[in-house]
Amino acid sequence: MKNKLYWDYCILLIPNKHILNIMKIAFICLFIFISGMFATEAESQNARISLKQTTSVLDLINIIENQTDYLFVYDKKDIDLNRQISVKAQNKTVAEILLTIFKNTDIVYAMQGNNIVLMKKSSESIPVIQQRTVRVTGIVTDEKGDPLAGVNVSAKGTTNGTITDIDGRFSIMAEPETILQFSYIGYMNQFIKVGNSTSVTISMKEDTQALDEVVVVGFGTQKKVNLSGSVSSVDMSTLTESRPITNISNALAGLAAGLQVTSSNNRPGDDNASILIRGKGTLNNSSPLVIIDGMEGEMNSLNVHDIENISVLKDASSAAIYGSRAANGVILITTKTGKEGKLKVSYNGYVAFQSIRPGVLDPVSNYADYMEYINSGYNNSNQALPYSQTSISAWRGDNGQNPLKYPNTNWIEDTFSTGVGTNHTLSMSGGTEKIQFYGAFGYFDNPGVLENAGYRKYNARTNINAQLTSWLKMGMNVSGFVGKAEPGNAGQSATEAGEQASVGAFTWGWATSPAMILRHDGRYGGIQNVEDDVSESGNNVLKVLNSTKGENTTRNIKSRFHITLQPIKDLSVTGSYSYEYTEQGIKTIPVFNDVWDFGKDQIIFKGEGESYITEKEYKRERNYMDIVANYNHRFLDDRLGLTAMVGASQEQYKYEWFNVTRKNLTAPNGTVLDAANGQISTGGNMTQWVMRSYFGRLNLDWENKYLLEFNLRSDGSSRFLSDSRWGYFPSGSIAWRMDQEEFLNSTDWLSNLKIRASYGSLGNNSVGNYSAISSYGSANYVLNNGVSTGWAITALANAGLTWEKTKVTDIGFDFGVLDNRLYGTFDWFNKKTEGILIQLPSPLVHGSATTPTSNAAEVTNKGIELTLGWRDKAGDFDYGINLNYTHVTNNVDKFKGEDYSLNGIYMTKEGLPINSMYMYVADRIIQTDDDLAIVNDMLAKNPDAFSQLGGVPQKGDILFKDLNGDNKIDPTNDRDIVGDTNPKHMFGLNLSAGYKGFDFSIFMQGVIGAKGYLNEKYFTSTVQRGYQITKEIAENSWTDGMTNAKYPKLTYQTAVNNQANTLWIQKKDYLKIRNIQLGYTLPKSVLSKVQLEKVRFYGSLENFFTFTGYKGIDPELDDLSYPTMRQAVIGVNIEF
């Protein structure tokens, strides 16, 4: 935008007798023009002062100069500097203060850049030589009709301008053809043509994404308009206000371009999502680095209501400052801090009704149908039928009249219940000029949809900042939580978070039949048909969920202490120390329950077994300290801007665990180790790593138009040996703010246009702590014809092991048009990771020792990101739309030459994407005689055509393609790459609207191009007595006479159909309506009567609608595990 000179009068012709005044004014104008030519009007409007005292004009000038970058220019003869004034300003702009103190005096002022000129009004009238010039007066208000002081009013394309006074009024000389421009920080520019009007009223509209938006970056902040890297920012204030978010990682889905979020497990308390930034860039850990208030942390440790902002650093320029851990991107989380002003108390609470998506899996629950389907499978495999027609007829004849004797159990409906969760957060913030604070307490209760698998959490936080002197600041952030998870076996893997067996509720649920009664009258039931596999009665899902008792408690404390010195203007030095300690204690005691036959009212299995008590403890400790110096100054009449940052840090992380199990509890209710007297088994271990780093950043700009940034970080890690310990990670970026160029000034519709490019190197040290050295373990060997125990190498060392390095190229542009009502961002990126750690083939002479890890593989991700938005307001109605889109392709450039690695069906090989699926290609299901003739023809040409499949396919079986045409189906020549699991397209869409206190929004997210392989346990044509089968398979499998079957015939044991093949590949595309919400905010006229600032009631639907063709439990899950919960929410936000 052009720099403008703001005056409240216009000099066009002055009589000769005022020559001295002419010289004074001309000198002042020249001074302002030269010294402030390149200052931005945003800075002039944004400086704010809080002051409450009686002082002189001179002292007030000194106070303003000390607390801001302003410089006053005046003639001592014109200004009464000793005049006493009373100033009562609370977070007021300098313009508002000056308007107040010089009101009803003969002193006026002009502001340009960082300069303020005070002068006396001329008593002479000023004649005008241009007869067409008229005086235009008016008032400027906000959207509520309140006057705005300090609004810039200017004649577009000239230096003729003024600002509004404290009442929002202005006066300016202009011609009828003149276009007046009204601008103010935080509001959209307004334009009107003077025409015949001499009085106007202007209503300014808020600009919710002003160019002066500040974005958090590594070790600092930058104005969004001056960013030269690729950074996405998520405003948490609107995200958490109405959504029932329990873990911030899940809530990020669809909120930013380039961010891929997958909910791989949803058990309360253990529901961390998998996050990728710009795809999977390595064969090892691809998770981004998460920084919370300056130190690495875990998202689930936070109360989401304590978060102020989240920044996602995606390219090398923005992320290189974190060096060796930034290859997968960086997520910066900043918690809330207090602000100067009156005490503010807020409460946010809601009740959430939780359930699972209807129709999930849809098992065959009619037991008569179930028995017929199982019989069909056994018959197709030439096996004896497990169920008699007598039993089938008995169940079908009862028709559900006697459910205790003839049950027809749907295990999904009887296992999953409706949970009622609550969340309450109470916070307060405020402060004075010297000290600001934020404090909060939260309570969260999430029972989930499975019994004995809920989670409760208590958390607290206090953030305090103090300005001790003009050159010294101090602060501290202290937070902690206590989380208590119920011990039910919900079926996730055995980890420190959930500590449950890998075979849990979901696997047990599959290993049952509709003849099982899960529970009646407080007792657990078994299979009620003796022809079924009664021995499987112990697989009762509800019984399994309640088969353990005990404790699972996590305690966390995290603190950060920081001090900032400002020895001279523009230079600050900040030192900080952070400490985090997490302890998890788990106590497990088995619970033995009887299993009943309710038809006979007798016990099938007595609840008994070997008793024991197990105690486990996990400790994680992190120490972090850094010192960072920042220098910020403008040179050459403010044309050249320089910002420099240098720093150093060091970090230590230690992880320790142990467990103790003792058998034979002497008392059934014993809860301590001494309550048992049996065998004791123990285990434990400890690992740690340390890292020291040096880093720096240099930002240069010329006239805020041409931007340049350099970053460099050096990391030394204990994970590598001394010769390979240090890694160096440089990056650079450039940007051009084209909208600031003179040749675009006449383009009224263009608000913002910036082109940028970056390149740099990032690192990944997510390897084992001791991979660079040999490891030893106990081993037996023969000595003197006897077996002895000694030590042997279990893993070979690679002394040259070092960092994985990722080189990222990014080219993009940002734009805003029509006063930023339409805005957007585009990025193209190329992300190449080299030196990926893999195990190369080694000769057998190494024996059983694990081969060393080597920096040998390379992976490339390429793609585009697009963000588009529109926001506007018409009267009392405001609306907005925001879309983000990401397209990513992935390729393994270098691996093991022609060799490959195969993990089940997933292949890693040069020239293919990661997680490529390798299997037989299904040609058809053999359903007709013509289909069977193809099989016979192949056998005639080659009797061994199907020998490697374990049998010859018959009608109802799958026929695979003979890819190499040799009339033989074999795994070497007839398996092929048939796709991969990586989504190609990801998007998020948010629609919002508001009208007179009502607000409504819809947020949706989805992926396209992902594939999954679904042929296991609950979704297969292989059947077995006493195991579940889904309606999708049962009703669409081949039977004699069918020609349009979707799935092969049901079988008990058939090797052919169990071979991995493309018939079981499904598209995992989906569209999820993540959130729908409706809210109403009470008007201030009502709230003022009860002394409240805000009361908002809302209703919300979270994850209520999923559109997908995927037949599994959830398109985000790879197998049967805790599904995404639907939540209906009612809540309230209150501010005092």
Q: Do 697 and 644 form a contact (C-beta atoms < 8 A)?
A: yes
Which range among 129-143, 230-244, 377-391 has the greatest average pLDDT? Answer: 377-391
Q: How far apart are CA 392 and CA 371, in angstroms?
A: 7
Nearest Cα to Cα of residue 289 among 715, 708, 862, 770: 715
Convert the pLDDT of each residue in 181-213 to its tens digit.
Answer: 888 866 777 888 888 888 888 888 766 544 456
Q: What is the pLDDT of residue 472?
A: 95
Q: Do 863 and 877 form a contact (C-beta atoms < 8 A)?
A: no
Q: Do 262 and 1118 form a contact (C-beta atoms < 8 A)?
A: no
Q: How far apart are CA 559 and CA 476, in angstroms?
A: 7
Q: How far apart are CA 586 and CA 991, in angstroms?
A: 44
> Which residues have CB under 8 Å from 1072's CB, separation 6+?
253, 1004, 1005, 1006, 1103, 1105, 1106, 1107
Lowest mean pLDDT among 66-80, 224-238, 618-632, 665-679: 66-80
Average pLDDT, the chain: 86
Q: Is the pLDDT of residue 652 over 50?
A: yes
β-strand 472-485 against 519-520: which pairing, if any? unpaired
Q: What is the pLDDT of residue 9?
A: 27
Q: Do 914 and 982 form a contact (C-beta atoms < 8 A)?
A: yes
For residue 681, the one-letter residue type is S
Mean pLDDT of 599-615: 90
What does each C-alpha distance from 547 to 264, 392, 521, 535, 614 come to in angstroms? Answer: 25, 33, 18, 17, 14
pLDDT category, 126, cuts 50, 70, 90? very low
What's the alpha-carbon Rg for the chain, to the nearest Å? Answer: 36
Q: State what percent of residues in the chain have pLDDT above 90.
A: 54
* DSSP state letter for 1050: P
Lowest mean pLDDT among 426-430, 761-765, 1044-1048: 761-765
Q: How far apart are CA 128 and CA 11, in angstroms?
A: 8
As given in the structure block, the two tokens for residue 744 are 């675009």
Lowest mean pLDDT among 54-58, 806-810, 884-888: 54-58
Pick the more confident residue, 305 or 100. 305
Q: What is the pLDDT of residue 4?
A: 32
Q: Do 1048 and 1061 form a contact (C-beta atoms < 8 A)?
A: no
Mean pLDDT of 831-852: 74
Burial class (CB in 10 A: 0-12, 13-18, 19+), 31: middle
Q: What is the pLDDT of residue 81?
A: 85
Query: What DSSP letter does each residue of 872-905 carry, written as one string?
Result: EEETTEEEEEEEEEEEEEEEEEESBTTB-EEETT
Query: Residue 1001 CA to chain centroid, in angstroms?
Result: 20
The gap between the terminal CA atoms of the chain, to the nearest Å, is 40
Q: What is the pTM of this model?
A: 0.80
Q: Is the pLDDT of residue 592 over 50?
A: yes
Strands (E), 985-1081: 985-995, 998-1008, 1011-1013, 1065-1067, 1070-1081
Q: What is the pLDDT of residue 373?
A: 97
Task: Look up tokens 């007829």; give the residue.
Answer: 393
Secondary structure tally for the chain: helices H, strands E: 15, 57
Pick the more confident residue, 644 or 897. 644
Q: Sort residue 897 into left (φ over 0), alpha (ψ -120 to 50) or beta.
A: left
Convert the pLDDT of each residue in 937-968 to its tens digit.
Answer: 999 999 999 999 988 999 999 999 999 999 99
What does each C-alpha distance from 479 to 111, 442, 463, 483, 862 come to in angstroms? Answer: 44, 11, 8, 13, 39
As given in the structure block, the two tokens for residue 419 are 């949970």
Q: How far apart are CA 524 and CA 545, in angstroms?
A: 11
Q: Answer positive or negative: Cα dihedral of 34, 39, 41, 45.
A: negative
β-strand 190-193 against 199-203: which pairing, if any? unpaired
Convert the pLDDT of each residue in 291-302 to its tens digit.
Answer: 999 899 998 888
Q: Answer positive or negative: Cα dihedral of 246, 248, 252, 256.
A: positive
Pick the more confident residue, 784 or 366. 366
Q: How far apart are CA 420 and CA 1128, in angstroms?
A: 10
Alpha helices in 383-493 (DSSP H): 389-398, 411-415
Q: Do 626 and 576 form a contact (C-beta atoms < 8 A)?
A: yes
Mean pLDDT of 693-709: 94
Q: Do 254 and 234 form a contact (C-beta atoms < 8 A)?
A: no
Pick the more confident residue, 688 or 784. 688
Q: Answer positive or negative: Cα dihedral of 359, 363, 365, 370.
A: positive
Q: How far apart are CA 186 and CA 257, in angstroms?
A: 25
Pick the more confident residue, 374 or 669. 374
Task: Look up tokens 């012709």; give the residue.
Answer: 13
Pick the more confident residue, 1011 or 839. 1011
Q: What is the pLDDT of residue 926?
A: 96
CATH, domain 16-203, list 2.60.40.1120, 3.40.50.10790, 3.30.460.80, 1.10.10.10: 2.60.40.1120
Q: How far apart are CA 143 and CA 139, in angstroms?
A: 13
Q: Is the pLDDT of residue 885 over 90?
A: yes
As given in the structure block, the two tokens for residue 206 are 């808020």
pLDDT category, 123, cuts 50, 70, 90? very low
As given in the structure block, the two tokens for residue 1125 are 């919960």
Domain limits, the chain:
16-203, 922-973
Mean pLDDT of 450-455: 90
Q: How far apart are CA 1052 and CA 386, in angstroms?
A: 11
Q: What is the pLDDT of residue 265?
A: 78
* DSSP state letter for 1115: T
Q: How far apart are CA 462 and CA 204, in angstroms?
A: 37
Q: What is the pLDDT of residue 650?
A: 95
Q: Is the pLDDT of residue 767 over 90?
A: no
As given in the structure block, the two tokens for residue 459 are 């958390």
Mean pLDDT of 29-48: 42
As given in the structure block, the two tokens for residue 357 are 């998506």
Q: Look at residue 941 and give its three-state secondary structure.
A: helix
Q: Is the pLDDT of residue 616 over 50?
A: yes
Mean pLDDT of 749-760: 93
Q: What is the pLDDT of residue 747?
A: 80
Q: Is the pLDDT of residue 20 over 50?
A: no
Pick the more confident residue, 366 or 56. 366
Q: How far apart are CA 882 and CA 822, in angstroms?
A: 10
Q: What is the pLDDT of residue 679?
A: 94
Q: What is the pLDDT of residue 696?
A: 95
As given in the structure block, the two tokens for residue 701 are 């700009």
Q: Is the pLDDT of residue 1 over 60?
A: no
| Total residues found in the chain within this entry | 1136
Q: What is the pLDDT of residue 527?
A: 92
Convert the pLDDT of each residue in 296-351 to its tens digit.
Answer: 999 888 898 999 889 999 999 999 999 888 899 999 999 999 888 889 999 999 99
Q: Look at residue 582 and give its three-state secondary structure.
A: strand
Q: Is the pLDDT of residue 1057 over 80?
A: yes
Q: Do 87 and 97 form a contact (C-beta atoms < 8 A)?
A: yes
Alpha carbon dihedral 948, 954, 960, 961, in 10-degree steps, equals 110
Which range among 222-236, 779-793, 993-1007, 1078-1092 has the greatest average pLDDT? Answer: 993-1007
Q: Is the pLDDT of residue 497 over 60?
A: no
Q: In the Cβ-directed half-sphere of 563, how many Cα atoms lie within 13 Å? A: 7
Q: Look at residue 1064 and give its three-state secondary structure.
A: helix
Backbone angles phi, psi at 391, to 5 degrees: -65, -40
Mean pLDDT of 474-498: 73
Nearest Cα to Cα of residue 614 among 669, 668, 553, 676: 676
Mean pLDDT of 670-684: 92
Q: Answer positive or negative: Cα dihedral of 442, 446, 452, 453.
A: negative
Alpha carbon dihedral 413, 417, 418, 419, in 10-degree steps, equals -160
As given in the structure block, the two tokens for residue 217 are 């970056």
Mean pLDDT of 1099-1116: 92
pLDDT category, 495, cuts 50, 70, 90? very low
pLDDT category, 47, cuts 50, 70, 90? low
pLDDT category, 41, cuts 50, 70, 90? very low
Q: Is the pLDDT of residue 402 over 80?
A: yes
* DSSP state letter for 972: T
> Which residues have CB under 8 Å from 1125's CB, separation 6+?
266, 354, 355, 356, 419, 448, 449, 1103
